[in-house]
Chain A
């Protein structure tokens, strides 16, 4: 395989890793914000 293939693979792995991490972190933020809103509402009701 050409050296350009390895270069593309290397940079591809870097930015895919960062992208996946950002997506997972955003999903985690959304989930925690949802849980916070629900807990605040329940505490308000009680």
Chain B
């Protein structure tokens, strides 16, 4: 099956799944006892956090692949995954404070989970700035690959920060044996996770397509310069 067919299929799948996820989060799940309706942000906040981790894990693998083989295809995937992962991380940093303001009474606190997530976001912001200023330079591609790997190594620190440090942030509920107390909450969270991951893959494939087009453009520019 061709990549464009898969991409088109995911395009068609992502929007209805997100719409169903929204309906589940707003209409199906009961309101949380202490936080009330604002807790419904959680059903998309957590899946975007998981998607950003997946994105940065792809950056790690693709950057290692680039450093080992120096093939540009790895570099295109690393850059695309970093950009889409950065978008997901930005959404996490936008929705988290909205929840915190309602639940804790403050927009931001220098809690371990929040601070490590902000550091992760800043590392990938630096990565994207570096890419923007030297996309065609092989040396800068190597620097970016190293920065991408360093950034991805921060992901376990972000994930385990709620266990390693005393934090205000709720502990991870997805991969624990206890899970969520209400089955409807657990089902909705899993459904939204699948929907957001499909949206993530859709965006990633589109971004990889952009990277391939830009690589083709750079090759044509090189050929034109060589002729003139």
The A contact surface, by secondary structure, is helix
Number of interface residues, chain A, beta carbon within 8 A: 25
A9 to chain B, nearest CB (A): 5
Q: Are A6 and B224 in contact (CB under 8 A)?
A: no
A35 to chain B, nearest CB (A): 5
Among B87, B98, B223, contact of A13 (Cβ-Cβ < 8 Å): B98
Interface hits, B131-157 → A, CB 8 Å: none
Q: Are A46 and B221 in contact (CB under 8 A)?
A: no
Number of interface residues, chain B, beta carbon within 8 A: 35
Whole-angstrom CA separation of A22 from B15 in the bound complex: 13
Q: Which residues of A are found within 8 Å of B206, using beta-carbon distances?
A: 25
Q: Are A7 and B37 in contact (CB under 8 A)?
A: yes
Residue positions of B touching A, CB distance < 8 A = 22, 35-38, 40-41, 44-45, 48, 87, 90-91, 94-95, 98-99, 101-102, 199, 203, 206-207, 209-210, 213-214, 216-217, 220-221, 223-224, 227-228
Q: Other CB < 8 Å A-B pairs besides A7-B38, A43-B220, A43-B224, 20 of them?
A: A4-B37, A6-B41, A6-B101, A7-B40, A10-B41, A10-B99, A13-B95, A13-B98, A14-B44, A14-B48, A17-B87, A17-B90, A18-B87, A18-B199, A28-B210, A35-B217, A36-B217, A39-B217, A40-B220, A46-B224
Residue positions of A touching B, CB distance < 8 A = 3-4, 6-7, 9-11, 13-14, 17-18, 21-22, 25, 28-29, 32-33, 35-36, 39-40, 42-43, 46
